[in-house]
Amino acid sequence: METKTFKNKKEFFISPSSPFHFDGTFHKPSHYPNKLSDWKSDRYWQTIRISKRIFGVKIENKGETQKPKIKVSVFYDKNISEDELEKIKQEIIWRFDLNADLKEFNNLAKSDKRFYPIFKKWLGMRNSSAHNLYELLIIAVLLQNATVRRTVQMTNVLLDNYGTKLKFDGKEIFAIWLPEKLNDVSEKELRDLKIGYRAKFIKRLSQDFAEGKIDEPKLRTLDQESAKKEMMKLYGVGPETARILLFEVCHQYNTFDHIAPWQQKIYSRLFYEKPLVSANKIRDNIKKQYGEYSMLAVHYIWEDIFWRRKHEKIDWLEKEIRL
């Protein structure tokens, strides 16, 4: 593992579209714990790679829901150009969907008698991804067919071997390796880290990205159907992984199509207070109610229950999360 310490710092501000919810956007309690970011109320840290160069980023809330403003501090070594700063700014705006127009969605939420309190509580929250396509793809592959504990284990062993530990602002935050880092790493070496059949996926995906076969900027501009088609071409990407990528990386709000069995159980409780409702019924009802914003609406309700879980014991939920 590579370790770097960055002491130089430059700052700039971003004004997200209003309304905006800082903590809901920068922290997702449903995600598994990892060393790739850190969060305290109104403060957030992560690493970011811009044209293969790595930076430390601290983001602070300096505004209010209706008058949003965030301060970004970029940590680097040696020097940084205006161009790089601008690229970082634009990338943060994209990844955290800071320019989102959620007027229509918020109107929809208002007419939802049952869940309005939740939508109101998280008003201005964005669906976001701290990571780029390759990085989130790696995470998604590590989620496949694994319990949380195992996913955490696999993430850590890979980061310890190929990642970068970045020290900045008194924090130690990791970055996922660049795809070409695995050029000279064999599938067997990966396999020996106990990541199982995923070694094959990660090896092949890294190769494809290193060779520049995937055009992330273009994928971000495609309509949902075309983007999904392109994602599914990636080795190891099926319906569930494509859904994650489309929602988090491409900010497609209406990706509530594939429902995994464990999600189905949680949705059944959340929406029907029953142990098990058929996936088709769940999907149809949600799509009918939230239309183009199906996944986004579910995201609000989903994250809300995981926020509650932080300080409240929810027995049925504990049972459905495989730790």
Partner DNA sequence: CATCAGGGCCCTG
Partner DNA sequence: CAGGGCCCTGAT
CA distance 305 to 315: 12
Taking CB under 7 A as the criterion, the residue among 116, 235, 272, 316 binding DNA is 235
DSSP type of residue 293: G
Tokens of 77: 């070594």
Q: Is 30 in the site for DNA (CB under 7 A)?
A: yes
What is the rounded CA–CA span in Å between residue 242 and residue 239? 5
Q: Which of residues 163-202 bind DNA (CB under 7 A)?
A: 191, 194, 196-197, 199-201
Alpha helices in the chain (DSSP H): 22-26, 82-95, 103-110, 116-121, 133-143, 148-162, 187-190, 198-210, 216-221, 224-233, 239-248, 261-267, 279-290, 294-309, 315-320
Stated as kind and residue range, the H or E segment containing 44 is: strand 43-50
Preceding amide of 29 cis, omega within 30? no
DSSP string, 45-104: EEEEEETTEEEEEEEEE-S-SSS--EEEEEEESS---HHHHHHHHHHHHHHTTTT---HH
Total of residues contacting DNA (CB under 7 A) = 33
Closest Cα to residue 181, out of 134, 133, 131? Answer: 134
| Phi, psi of 225, rounded to the nearest 5 degrees | -65, -45
Q: Report CA Rg, the chain.
A: 20
Residue 32 sits in the site that holds DNA (CB under 7 A): yes
Query: Is 237 an interacting residue with respect to DNA (CB under 7 A)?
Result: yes
Closest approach, Cβ 243 to DNA, in A, equals 8
Stretch that binds DNA, among 58-66, 165-173, 175-183, 232-240 (CB under 7 A): 232-240
User: Which residue in 4, 236, 270, 279 binds DNA (CB under 7 A)?
Assistant: 236
Distance of closest approach, residue 76 Cβ to DNA, in angstroms: 33
- Shortest Cβ distance from residue 188 to DNA (Å)? 11
**Based on CB atoms, which residue is closest to DNA, 91 or 257?**
257
Please, which residue, 40 or 149, has the CB nearer to DNA? 149
Smallest gap from residue 32 Cβ to DNA (A):
4
Binding residue for DNA, selected from 84, 169, 240, 292, defined by CB under 7 A: 240
- With binding defined as CB under 7 A, does residue 239 bind DNA? yes
Q: Residue 240 CB, nearest distance to DNA (Å)?
A: 4
Residue 43 binds DNA (CB under 7 A):
no
The whole-angstrom separation of Cα 250 and Cα 95 is 9
Could you say which residues in the range 136-165 bind DNA, by CB under 7 A?
Answer: 143-151, 153
Does 309 bind DNA (CB under 7 A)? Our answer is no
Q: How far is CA 85 from CA 51, 55, 109, 260, in A?
A: 12, 10, 36, 40
Shortest spacing between CB 306 and DNA, in angstroms: 9
Mark the segment that binds DNA (CB under 7 A) among 40-48, 214-222, 257-265, 291-299: 257-265
Taking alpha carbons only, the member of 123, 133, 96, 310 closest to residue 218 is 133
Nearer to DNA by Cβ, of 117 and 238: the residue is 238
69's tokens: 């403003």
Binding mask 103-142 for DNA (x = CB under 7 A): ----------------------------------------
Binding interface with DNA (CB under 7 A): 30, 32, 143-151, 153, 191, 194, 196-197, 199-201, 234-242, 260-262, 321-322
